[in-house]
Chains A and B, each alone.
Chain A
């Protein structure tokens, strides 16, 4: 099984603001997908999710998503997560407008 099949990142929503966040390699929650930690191993991602779920004071709704890693650029595989990383298509709101 090729490694690129199981590339994942962990995502959630910020408890207070509600915006989309990703888990980085320091196990902090960051706004930018490009700073997310890429997991290639099922076990370590499951552990990280369990860990993240216990950080209930920071985030809500933790789960993993499949991503493509091309030349160090992370792109979500599914269009839902692409939208989540961008924002709605009818206004310049959401992540696309984050500074």
Chain B
């Protein structure tokens, strides 16, 4: 992974001292809250319902054991002993005190981490395919470019006061594990006739008006990516609406002007900007690329693993659900579930973090990833080490074998923490997870993605869930709307609204009805939920959800959803 140079270290040091000074001026009264707010947001510090919240950047979701240990230390020393991993591959601490934050940032700097631009109207963390550099399918590792874009966007003089936030996601595979079609800019790294370039997708986004992004450039040579991104953000900075917060994202700008027109503006701006760009220093580029070279894979006997796999049913079950094929045949991409039944999705205690750090150091070439699905990935584990890894994970309750199953739920913090939320999401996730554990149906149901958002901002990505749940406030009571058939992959799709919402007491039985309907109408066990949905459409699931709904009400709701 990327190793900080003196430049990077010096930058963070200066940045932290600036923030320490800003906190002091706020406390002294020389900065009003209106002036301080964008500055603290630029440094990742939110104010939530019960406390401040610090969002620490994990660039493209990659970190090593020392960094994970530092996060554990921060949780213990300045927070309440845990952290929350997010759908943008970052970590959130829910209880920091304002005066401690400069110290937390200094602690982060010791391990080359920061909280820069994880909030505010800035360019945010560039997220990446969490299987980069390990996936068995044909793919390129996009992370050198993610790092380049990170540096380019850091403290960009022109782009610290944008119309709204700006999110970039990058992949190097046809299989999109980074949800690039639901980002302001989605980048797919590909090779065309020996040349490396990007397919560029613009104007995707979830939230109030979910949209799938549109291709703005089919193949841009990699050497041009920085001036091109600069042109896109520059055009949007000028054009993006500032009169209406809900219409400020680039997806609305593209929607209102048309992608053709935007492409013309971008091309024009790009031509001007290109003349100011002398190209990235080849030495810098080489240094970045070499930092992402694959580890030196080892050779070892896998007989022990095969034996354990054959004889230990519980270990086998975990391997089957939680590991994926690695490009090296004797290695496995290993997912650590942070979705223990009944626990908060994405949360890890400091003890768990330290254990993961140890395992990574001993058995995983010291590389850890955070997925946007709020789980932890060890991308490179030799199969011979899997039994030992499993035993260690068990000691801290990190061995739940549910990756990709119904209890592997994505959920935003919701109204338990977030000031923007309209309903709670965590209790719903916990109840669904426990219900299907109780029913012992998880493996029967197979692969399904439930995603829950506690408000219309859709941080839980509910629009692209196979089952999406949106928590709203209906006449002063929490109410949950269901969408069906969403897709977060390369066949990205926004889910369809099923009908009227359900109360907190009714939502879990409603989800159960959907699942029972699926089990009933699927062709066979190998047809997944989403495949059944594609084959039969929403009608049978609507019927299961609303068995008593009159025909006229159905039509009325269909009209509303249109």
Contact = CB atoms under 8 A, between A and B. Distances in A.
Interface in B408-434: 415-417, 421, 424, 426-427, 430
Contact of A56 (B29, B96, B424): B29
Interface in B5-30: 26-29
B51 A16 contact: no
Contacts of A83: 49, 415-416, 424
Interface in B321-360: 344, 347
Interface string B455-472: 000000000000000000
A18 B93 CA distance: 13
B80 interface: yes
Given A16-B97, A60-B33, A79-B477, A89 B50 contact: no
A99 B504 CA distance: 30
Contacts of A33: none
A18 B52 contact: yes
Interface string A49-89: 00000001100110000000000000001111001100111
B49 A90 contact: no
A78 B415 CA distance: 12
B95 A15 contact: no
A16 to B, nearest CB: 5
Interface residues of B, number: 32
Interface in B57-103: 80, 94-99
B385 interface: no
B32 interface: yes
A42 to B, nearest CB: 21
Contact of A88 (B50, B96, B99, B478): B50
A79 B47 contact: no
Contacts of B80: 91, 93
B476 interface: yes
Given A56-B33, A57-B27, A80 B415 contact: yes
Q: Which 5 A-B pairs have the closest CB atoms?
A: A88-B416, A18-B51, A18-B52, A94-B50, A90-B344
Interface of B: 26-29, 32-33, 47, 49-52, 80, 94-99, 344, 347, 415-417, 421, 424, 426-427, 430, 473, 476-478
Interface of A: 13, 15-20, 56-57, 60-61, 77-80, 83-84, 87-91, 93-95
6 contacts: A15-B27, A18-B47, A57-B29, A90-B344, A90-B427, A90-B430
